[in-house]
Amino acid sequence: MSQKRPHSPYAVDAARLLGARVRLARRERRWSQQELASRVGVTPRTVYKIEHGDLSVGLGAAFEAAALLGVPLFYAERSRLTADLDRLDARTALLPRPISSELGQVNDDF
């Protein structure tokens, strides 16, 4: 039997908040857990886990459920999300690249 990974209180609270928002949006649309599960491509049990902040659920499934229901993850407007991604890509491009392991062993025996 696998052991549960410990999670920070911040991660636990964030998952619970996302789950509560997903559940509220689903109920406002009058969708059953089965209907949302079918749209996301998961089981109703997985939807239950998302709605209860279970951190063992795949990030993709949780994000897809939120996106289908219109629950904002970062910004309500997709254009702001895209702009942030572009800025981060530009910053990342400025960082030094890791030294390639293709150079072989370094002889530091002086």
Q: pLDDT of 85-96, one tens digit each?
A: 899 999 988 888
Percent of the chain with pLDDT over 70: 87
CATH number for the domain harbouring residue 52: 1.10.260.40
Q: Is residue 16 part of a domain?
A: yes
**Residue 76, pLDDT above cutoff 80:** no
Place of tokens 């696998």: 2
Q: Is residue 107 part of a domain?
A: no
Q: For the chain, how many structural domains are there in total?
A: 1
At 44-71, the pLDDT tens digits run 999 999 999 999 999 999 999 999 999 9
What single-letter DSSP state applies at residue 28?
H
Q: Is residue 46 part of a domain?
A: yes
| pTM for this predicted structure | 0.76
Residue range of the domain that includes 74: 9-94
Q: Is residue 2 part of a domain?
A: no
